[in-house]
Protein backbone atom coordinates (compact mmCIF):
# COMPACT_ATOMS: atom_id res chain seq x y z
CA UNK A 1 0.00 0.00 0.00
CA UNK A 2 2.84 2.35 0.88
CA UNK A 3 4.47 1.65 -2.49
CA UNK A 4 1.24 2.36 -4.37
CA UNK A 5 0.78 5.63 -2.47
CA UNK A 6 4.36 6.62 -3.21
CA UNK A 7 3.97 5.79 -6.91
CA UNK A 8 0.74 7.79 -7.10
CA UNK A 9 2.34 10.81 -5.43
CA UNK A 10 5.30 10.58 -7.82
CA UNK A 11 2.97 10.44 -10.83
CA UNK A 12 1.03 13.48 -9.61
CA UNK A 13 4.27 15.38 -9.02
CA UNK A 14 5.49 14.55 -12.52
CA UNK A 15 2.18 15.64 -14.07
CA UNK A 16 2.31 18.95 -12.18
CA UNK A 17 5.87 19.53 -13.37
CA UNK A 18 4.86 18.86 -17.00
CA UNK A 19 1.99 21.34 -16.74
CA UNK A 20 4.22 23.98 -15.14
CA UNK A 21 6.82 23.55 -17.89
CA UNK A 22 4.09 23.81 -20.55
CA UNK A 23 2.92 27.08 -18.99
CA UNK A 24 6.46 28.40 -18.84
CA UNK A 25 7.25 27.66 -22.48
CA UNK A 26 3.98 29.12 -23.73
CA UNK A 27 4.51 32.25 -21.63
CA UNK A 28 8.06 32.79 -22.80
CA UNK A 29 7.04 32.32 -26.44
CA UNK A 30 4.20 34.84 -26.12
CA UNK A 31 6.30 37.47 -24.37
CA UNK A 32 9.16 37.09 -26.83
CA UNK A 33 6.89 37.45 -29.87
CA UNK A 34 4.76 40.36 -28.69
CA UNK A 35 7.08 42.50 -26.58
CA UNK A 36 9.72 44.60 -28.31
CA UNK A 37 11.46 47.96 -28.06
CA UNK A 38 8.27 49.80 -29.11
CA UNK A 39 6.09 48.19 -26.42
CA UNK A 40 5.29 50.78 -23.77
CA UNK A 41 2.20 49.63 -21.84
CA UNK A 42 1.45 46.00 -20.99
CA UNK A 43 -1.60 44.44 -19.37
CA UNK A 44 -0.80 41.70 -16.87
CA UNK A 45 -3.49 39.08 -16.25
CA UNK A 46 -4.06 36.80 -13.29
CA UNK A 47 -3.48 33.17 -12.47
CA UNK A 48 -0.68 30.62 -12.39
CA UNK A 49 0.36 30.93 -16.04
CA UNK A 50 0.85 34.69 -15.83
CA UNK A 51 3.54 34.13 -13.19
CA UNK A 52 5.76 32.83 -15.99
CA UNK A 53 4.86 35.77 -18.26
CA UNK A 54 6.03 38.16 -15.57
CA UNK A 55 9.21 36.13 -15.03
CA UNK A 56 10.12 36.42 -18.70
CA UNK A 57 9.13 40.07 -18.88
CA UNK A 58 11.33 40.81 -15.85
CA UNK A 59 14.28 39.03 -17.48
CA UNK A 60 13.94 41.01 -20.69
CA UNK A 61 13.19 44.31 -18.93
CA UNK A 62 16.46 43.92 -17.02
CA UNK A 63 18.72 42.49 -19.72
CA UNK A 64 17.46 44.56 -22.66
CA UNK A 65 16.51 47.76 -20.81
CA UNK A 66 13.05 47.68 -22.37
CA UNK A 67 11.52 51.19 -22.29
CA UNK A 68 8.32 50.14 -20.54
CA UNK A 69 6.17 52.92 -19.16
CA UNK A 70 3.61 50.86 -17.29
CA UNK A 71 2.27 47.42 -16.44
CA UNK A 72 -1.47 47.39 -15.75
CA UNK A 73 -2.65 44.68 -13.31
CA UNK A 74 -5.97 42.82 -13.40
CA UNK A 75 -6.02 41.76 -9.75
CA UNK A 76 -4.30 42.03 -6.40
CA UNK A 77 -2.21 39.00 -7.39
CA UNK A 78 -0.93 40.54 -10.63
CA UNK A 79 -0.29 43.84 -8.88
CA UNK A 80 1.98 42.04 -6.41
CA UNK A 81 3.73 40.16 -9.21
CA UNK A 82 4.51 43.44 -10.98
CA UNK A 83 5.84 45.04 -7.81
CA UNK A 84 7.98 42.05 -6.84
CA UNK A 85 9.46 41.86 -10.35
CA UNK A 86 10.49 45.52 -10.22
CA UNK A 87 8.37 46.40 -13.24
CA UNK A 88 6.68 49.83 -13.58
CA UNK A 89 3.22 49.65 -12.01
CA UNK A 90 0.32 51.86 -13.06
CA UNK A 91 -3.44 51.73 -13.57
CA UNK A 92 -5.93 51.75 -16.41
CA UNK A 93 -7.15 55.28 -15.73
CA UNK A 94 -3.63 56.60 -16.21
CA UNK A 95 -2.89 54.47 -19.29
CA UNK A 96 -6.24 53.70 -20.96
CA UNK A 97 -4.57 52.46 -24.15
CA UNK A 98 -2.57 49.25 -23.72
CA UNK A 99 -0.19 47.94 -26.37
CA UNK A 100 -0.61 44.27 -25.47
CA UNK A 101 -2.23 42.31 -22.65
CA UNK A 102 -1.30 38.78 -21.59
CA UNK A 103 -3.62 36.53 -19.63
CA UNK A 104 -4.44 32.90 -19.01
CA UNK A 105 -7.75 31.13 -19.57
CA UNK A 106 -9.76 28.28 -18.11
CA UNK A 107 -10.71 27.07 -21.59
CA UNK A 108 -10.28 28.30 -25.18
CA UNK A 109 -12.37 27.18 -28.16
CA UNK A 110 -11.48 26.88 -31.85
CA UNK A 111 -12.34 30.56 -32.48
CA UNK A 112 -10.30 31.69 -29.44
CA UNK A 113 -13.39 32.50 -27.41
CA UNK A 114 -12.49 31.94 -23.76
CA UNK A 115 -13.95 31.04 -20.41
CA UNK A 116 -12.13 33.02 -17.73
CA UNK A 117 -12.77 33.78 -14.09
CA UNK A 118 -11.74 30.61 -12.30
CA UNK A 119 -9.70 32.93 -10.12
CA UNK A 120 -12.61 35.39 -9.74
CA UNK A 121 -10.85 38.23 -11.60
CA UNK A 122 -12.91 38.29 -14.80
CA UNK A 123 -14.20 41.88 -14.48
CA UNK A 124 -10.80 43.52 -14.22
CA UNK A 125 -9.35 41.05 -16.72
CA UNK A 126 -11.98 42.01 -19.27
CA UNK A 127 -11.45 45.73 -18.71
CA UNK A 128 -7.73 45.38 -19.38
CA UNK A 129 -8.20 43.03 -22.34
CA UNK A 130 -10.72 45.41 -23.90
CA UNK A 131 -8.29 48.32 -23.58
CA UNK A 132 -5.48 46.41 -25.29
CA UNK A 133 -4.64 46.67 -28.97
CA UNK A 134 -3.59 43.02 -28.76
CA UNK A 135 -4.99 40.48 -26.33
CA UNK A 136 -2.84 37.35 -26.07
CA UNK A 137 -3.95 34.20 -24.23
CA UNK A 138 -1.32 31.92 -22.72
CA UNK A 139 -2.20 28.46 -21.43
CA UNK A 140 -1.20 24.82 -21.20
CA UNK A 141 -2.51 21.98 -23.35
CA UNK A 142 -5.40 21.19 -20.98
CA UNK A 143 -7.16 24.46 -21.86
CA UNK A 144 -7.32 23.91 -25.64
CA UNK A 145 -10.81 22.80 -26.73
CA UNK A 146 -12.93 22.75 -29.83
CA UNK A 147 -16.04 23.90 -27.92
CA UNK A 148 -16.27 25.71 -24.59
CA UNK A 149 -17.58 23.54 -21.78
CA UNK A 150 -15.85 20.43 -23.11
CA UNK A 151 -13.03 20.34 -20.56
CA UNK A 152 -13.93 23.15 -18.16
CA UNK A 153 -16.85 21.71 -16.20
CA UNK A 154 -17.18 24.32 -13.45
CA UNK A 155 -19.40 26.67 -15.42
CA UNK A 156 -19.21 30.26 -16.61
CA UNK A 157 -18.04 32.56 -13.81
CA UNK A 158 -20.31 35.55 -13.32
CA UNK A 159 -19.47 38.52 -11.11
CA UNK A 160 -22.70 39.66 -9.47
CA UNK A 161 -23.97 42.34 -7.09
CA UNK A 162 -24.34 40.70 -3.64
CA UNK A 163 -27.83 42.07 -2.95
CA UNK A 164 -29.19 40.40 -6.12
CA UNK A 165 -27.58 36.97 -6.15
CA UNK A 166 -30.77 35.08 -5.27
CA UNK A 167 -32.94 36.46 -8.14
CA UNK A 168 -29.94 36.05 -10.46
CA UNK A 169 -29.70 32.36 -9.52
CA UNK A 170 -33.40 31.97 -10.37
CA UNK A 171 -33.01 33.76 -13.71
CA UNK A 172 -30.04 31.59 -14.66
CA UNK A 173 -32.05 28.45 -13.93
CA UNK A 174 -34.82 29.73 -16.21
CA UNK A 175 -32.20 29.99 -18.99
CA UNK A 176 -31.31 26.33 -18.55
CA UNK A 177 -28.21 26.87 -16.46
CA UNK A 178 -27.09 25.13 -13.29
CA UNK A 179 -25.83 28.01 -11.16
CA UNK A 180 -24.08 27.88 -7.80
CA UNK A 181 -22.81 30.65 -5.57
CA UNK A 182 -19.06 30.16 -5.25
CA UNK A 183 -18.06 29.62 -1.64
CA UNK A 184 -14.66 30.44 -0.15
CA UNK A 185 -12.32 27.58 0.73
CA UNK A 186 -10.71 28.93 3.89
CA UNK A 187 -13.23 31.59 4.84
CA UNK A 188 -16.79 31.31 6.03
CA UNK A 189 -19.18 32.51 3.34
CA UNK A 190 -18.94 33.25 -0.38
CA UNK A 191 -15.95 34.28 -2.46
CA UNK A 192 -15.66 38.08 -2.60
CA UNK A 193 -13.94 39.60 -5.63
CA UNK A 194 -11.42 42.47 -5.60
CA UNK A 195 -14.43 44.66 -6.43
CA UNK A 196 -16.51 43.52 -3.46
CA UNK A 197 -18.90 41.36 -5.49
CA UNK A 198 -19.93 37.69 -5.40
CA UNK A 199 -19.25 35.05 -8.04
CA UNK A 200 -21.83 32.65 -9.45
CA UNK A 201 -20.64 29.72 -11.55
CA UNK A 202 -23.32 28.79 -14.11
CA UNK A 203 -22.94 25.47 -15.93
CA UNK A 204 -24.52 25.31 -19.41
CA UNK A 205 -22.89 22.16 -20.81
CA UNK A 206 -21.11 22.54 -24.13
CA UNK A 207 -21.41 26.14 -25.33
CA UNK A 208 -21.73 26.05 -29.10
CA UNK A 209 -22.71 29.73 -29.37
CA UNK A 210 -20.82 31.65 -26.66
CA UNK A 211 -21.62 35.02 -28.27
CA UNK A 212 -25.36 34.41 -27.91
CA UNK A 213 -24.99 33.16 -24.33
CA UNK A 214 -22.83 36.15 -23.40
CA UNK A 215 -25.50 38.49 -24.79
CA UNK A 216 -28.21 36.78 -22.75
CA UNK A 217 -26.22 36.75 -19.53
CA UNK A 218 -24.99 40.34 -19.55
CA UNK A 219 -28.54 41.68 -19.90
CA UNK A 220 -29.57 40.17 -16.54
CA UNK A 221 -29.71 43.01 -13.99
CA UNK A 222 -27.15 42.47 -11.25
CA UNK A 223 -24.63 40.60 -13.37
CA UNK A 224 -21.67 42.97 -13.51
CA UNK A 225 -19.58 40.91 -15.94
CA UNK A 226 -19.33 37.41 -17.34
CA UNK A 227 -16.37 35.10 -17.78
CA UNK A 228 -17.10 34.65 -21.48
CA UNK A 229 -14.45 36.50 -23.51
CA UNK A 230 -15.81 36.39 -27.05
CA UNK A 231 -13.94 37.76 -30.04
CA UNK A 232 -11.30 39.38 -27.85
CA UNK A 233 -8.21 37.16 -28.12
CA UNK A 234 -6.30 37.31 -31.39
CA UNK A 235 -3.47 34.98 -30.39
CA UNK A 236 -3.27 31.94 -28.15
CA UNK A 237 -0.16 30.05 -27.07
CA UNK A 238 -0.56 26.52 -25.72
CA UNK A 239 2.34 24.72 -24.10
CA UNK A 240 2.21 21.04 -25.02
CA UNK A 241 3.04 17.84 -23.15
CA UNK A 242 5.82 17.23 -25.66
CA UNK A 243 7.56 20.49 -24.82
CA UNK A 244 6.44 22.26 -27.98
CA UNK A 245 4.31 25.40 -28.15
CA UNK A 246 1.26 25.55 -30.40
CA UNK A 247 0.34 29.03 -31.63
CA UNK A 248 -3.12 29.84 -32.92
CA UNK A 249 -4.45 33.16 -34.14
CA UNK A 250 -7.63 34.51 -35.69
> Torsions phi, psi of 93, nearest 5?
-65, -25
DSSP state of 80: H
Angle at 107 between CA 102 and CA 112, to 5 degrees: 65
Query: Could you tell me how far CA 180 lies from the centroid of its own chain?
Result: 20
For domain 156-226, the CATH superfamily is ACT domain (3.30.70.260)
Contact 157, 204 (CB under 8 A): no
So which residues are the catalytic ones? 125
pLDDT tens sequence for the chain (250 residues)? 566 566 677 667 768 899 999 999 999 999 999 999 999 999 999 999 999 999 999 999 999 989 999 999 999 999 999 999 999 999 999 999 999 999 999 999 999 999 999 999 999 999 999 999 999 999 999 999 999 999 999 999 999 999 999 999 999 999 999 999 999 998 899 999 999 999 999 999 999 999 999 999 999 999 999 999 999 999 999 999 999 999 999 9
What are the sequence ranges of the domains in the chain? 2-146+231-242, 156-226
2-146+231-242 carries CATH number 3.30.470.30: no
Amino acid sequence: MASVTHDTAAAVKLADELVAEAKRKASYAAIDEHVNASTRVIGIGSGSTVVFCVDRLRERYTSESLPLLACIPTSFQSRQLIIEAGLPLSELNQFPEIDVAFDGADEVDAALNCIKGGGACQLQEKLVANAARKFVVVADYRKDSRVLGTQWKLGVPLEVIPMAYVPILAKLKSLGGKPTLRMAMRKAGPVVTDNGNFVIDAEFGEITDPVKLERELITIPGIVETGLFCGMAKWAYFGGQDGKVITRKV
